[in-house]
Chain A
Amino acid sequence: MKVLMFGWEFPPHIAGGLGTACEGIVKGLAHNGVETLFVMPSASGDEDQSCATILNASDVAVQHVSDTVEEFLDKVKFINVDSNIVPYVDPEEYFEAIEKMKREQTKETTVGFGQKFKFSGKYGANLLEEVSRYAQVGGTIAMQHAGEFDVIHAHDWLTYLAGIAAKELSGKPLVVHVHATSFDRGTDDMVDSRVYSIEKRGMEAADRVVTVSDLTRNIVINKYGINPDKVVTVHNAVDFSGRENLQVDRGVRDKVVTFLGRITFQKGPEYFIEAAAKVLKRTKNVRFVMAGSGDMMNRAIRQVARLGISDRFHFTGFLRGQEVQKMFALSDVYIMPSVSEPFGISPLEAMRSNVPSIISHQSGAAEVLKYALKVDFWDVDAMADDIYALLQYPALSDFANRQGFDEVNALKWNNATLKLKKVYESVVNS
């Protein structure tokens, strides 16, 4: 089995979690005997190619742009994108990425015959333009490598058009992979209609739609009107190979309860703060940390001050690299009170760092984590109860810690990609 895969980024140069997930998938597929030809807009050459052949779209000259694709592309020529419409990206990083891109922006390239496009591969202001160009290159690659693959796999809306173009020009089946939808990025009435229409088109054109959770699967069925028969859930996994848990000298004697992620509406920061205030009414030997940044941060700070708990509730700002591990090492309880979360990889990382976790039922991770404590995001009383219990009853926290550690170690990409392989087989053989 050979797959032509369209991604947007790949480690080591990543802005969010999509690249990390793609790497896990590619490695897992290799383990299961699937060869991958991985296409990305802007490869740097230092990507790990042991499990996949990486094709840099910026190196590919568009030779024969067929009428159908051109016509198709004309419909999607939108230019300005100014909201955060990519999965797993912190707003601060997004902002930095845009600023950096603006500085580095190369002069406008024209679409033409035998022309190479210089992709930024970032999440910049001309993202939609890049997405449509990426589709043309995708079609070209599909023709150049015809016969070298059996199935096409496209990750998230950024690559759906490329996937469609490749399908049209090669006749091979298409699988699209939904890591997040427009409904996880904004409220129902704030969905970016341009992105939504690309997502819908990709899902409709696909032979199978893979979602990262049943939660997302339901959104795909209900909000995009996709036939349930062709939507399959393959839960995310996480690759912990080569990772040692950090040993950190603790400065504070109190227990630490941590929230780590974007401070946005979807992540439910205000519920965490309310629960913290409730816990502090009953016990004093605990501190709460909100690590991250986002558009709700200032509101969160005001809420903390209004509740009069700012000597026990700390903000760290956005954490980078090693600081994230350090934060886990300092934590006794991890909490992810998300209002809407397609999957949510962070509790897996916390549990791997021996931190028992509380997650909301409204997250995809809740479907696979048996040993995380689960609450509804709005139920701050239950949240406070669970925090208190994990802090006060060692029997419970030891159990959650031990079992959780084993549980997340068992969530391997090798298993997840075996399911993916079966999805491939079902469309190739039909």
Chain B
Amino acid sequence: MKKSICLYFQVHQPTRLRLYRFFDIGKDSHYYDDFANRTILKRIAQKCYLPMNELLLEAITKSKGKIKLAFSITGSALEQFDRYAPEVIESFRALADTGCVEFLCETYNHSLASLISGPEFEHQVKKHKAAIEQYFGVTPTTFRNTELIYSDGIGKAVYELGFKTMLTEGARHIMGWKNPNYIYSNDFEPGQKLLLRNYSMSDDIAFRFSDRGWSEWPLTAEKYVEWLHSAEGEIVNLFMDYETFGEHQSSETGIFEFMRALTGLIAKDKELEFVTPSRAAAKHKAVGELSVPQPISWADEERDTSAWLGNELQQDAFNKLYGLEEKLSILDDPALWGDFGHLQESDHLYYMCTKFFSDGEVHKRFNPYDTPYEAFINYMNVLSDFIIRVNNAIAEK
């Protein structure tokens, strides 16, 4: 049996909030920085999404369909593509048409609903599934939760929503002696298969590729294929942000040439083959159960949820937001539900993170605010206005 190589890329863009002052509360309910969102999206489309999609389409065609991979595109990102760069959707559709690309399901707004609310989580999953069907004409069957957040309980909830395969992090503290290069099953639901990210090999591309201080620099496709050969196990799961290509690793670093060469080499290799996540689940048997009582994620050194809910600012904001769920459940105002979704994007909480010492560099890079406190103040001002609107809608009912 050939060793499986499973590529999955995450596509997400947050709906950034505008500077929302106390004076705006109750007066102006437009919360988003449309200019920043448009500018950033257009830039990333030019630097990453469009060229990388084109590269992958060419590579798939050239390999006669041997190159396979998966995407997960959030609803928030799809909305922005629709609004600011519809050509990006076209290019993803072209990839979908090859039949070599699997689209995964997740929460529509890249939210943390799985950590607090069953009903809202289900709502977001269904909404995302419907969006993928609408945009790409395929029904997703594999699930990846926001930031690969997973626990036994979350896996079970996902299974009950009909997903027999789920992706998560091969976090060292839950793996112990286990090797991420095999497939495992959910501790509560033996029928659910888990694909675990090989973080070391994924980060070699996503983070270290252009690091001249790294002993393996420069990384060549040949060298990387050698590593894949020598990796013990049945499958190597390379999961990373799609913005790695052209954005985090700029085109000058040679990342595009590297990916072109790498996919070409693997497609021709006699011992390796590309698989999509659902194909991987069908091909491999689970070698054992994985017990994950506490949620894990792919973020930071801790691989837990502390990047979003680690301090009191984040917890208060999170609790205040989800405290509205009950009221919203009896309202069917699409504008309110739309804003509720955007306010759930995990990015807003990420900006409030105070862990600036070990992973601070990564946090800073993605943060539009100077300090976590500013992020919190701005978010709470927006949320306060939103709460007023929800209460008004309830009063009118």
Q: Chain A: residues with CB nearer than 8 A to chain B?
A: 249-253, 287, 289, 297-298, 301-302, 304-306, 308, 310-312, 314-317, 323, 326, 330
Contact = CB atoms under 8 A, between A and B. Distances in A.
B315 interface: yes
A310 B320 contact: yes
B376 A310 contact: yes
Interface residues of B, number: 26
B112 interface: no
B25 A252 contact: yes
Interface in B19-75: 21-28
Interface stretch (B103-111, B360-368, B379-387): B379-387
B348 to A, nearest CB: 13
Given A252-B388, A297-B373, A308-B319, A316 B312 contact: no
Interface in B308-322: 311-313, 315-317, 319-320
B49 to A, nearest CB: 36
B377 interface: yes
Contact of B22 (A289, A298, A302, A311): A289
A253 B26 contact: yes
A311 B313 contact: no
B17 to A, nearest CB: 15
A96 to B, nearest CB: 15
Leading 3 A-B pairs by shortest Cβ distance: A251-B26, A251-B27, A305-B316
B291 interface: no
B377 A317 contact: yes
Contact of A251 (B25, B371, B376, B377): B25
A297 B98 CA distance: 55
A314 B26 contact: no
B93 to A, nearest CB: 42
A92 to B, nearest CB: 13
Nearest to B381: A314
A311 B376 contact: no
B376 A301 contact: yes
A314 B25 contact: yes
Nearest to B377: A315
Of residues B21, B28, B377, B381, which shows the largest number of chain A Cβ atoms within 10 Å of its Cβ?
B377
B380 A310 contact: yes
A96 B376 CA distance: 24
B376 A326 contact: no
B384 A298 contact: no
A305 B313 contact: yes
B376 A249 contact: no
Contacts of A252: 25-26, 388
Contact of A314 (B311, B315, B320, B384): B384
Interface of B: 21-28, 311-313, 315-317, 319-320, 371, 373, 376-377, 380-381, 383-384, 387-388
A225 B373 CA distance: 43
Given A302-B313, A310-B320, A311-B384, A251 B23 contact: yes
Contacts of A250: 26
A250 B23 CA distance: 8
B22 A314 contact: yes
A301 B25 contact: no
B373 A306 contact: no
Contacts of A306: 312, 316
Given A252-B388, A302-B312, A310-B313, 20 more contacts: A250-B26, A251-B25, A251-B27, A252-B25, A253-B388, A297-B373, A301-B376, A301-B377, A305-B317, A310-B316, A310-B380, A311-B384, A311-B387, A314-B381, A315-B22, A316-B21, A316-B23, A317-B377, A323-B23, A326-B23
Nearest to B352: A305
Nearest to A250: B26
A297 B21 CA distance: 17
Given A310-B376, A311-B380, A314-B381, A249 B319 contact: no
B312 A311 contact: no
Given A252-B388, A302-B312, A305-B315, A311 B320 contact: yes
B316 A308 contact: yes
Contacts of B320: 310-311
B368 to A, nearest CB: 16
Nearest to B379: A310
A46 to B, nearest CB: 31
A301 B314 CA distance: 11
B339 to A, nearest CB: 15
Contacts of A301: 313, 373, 376-377
A150 to B, nearest CB: 50
A65 B364 CA distance: 55
13 contacts: A249-B27, A251-B27, A252-B26, A302-B312, A305-B313, A305-B315, A306-B312, A308-B316, A310-B313, A310-B317, A311-B383, A312-B384, A314-B380
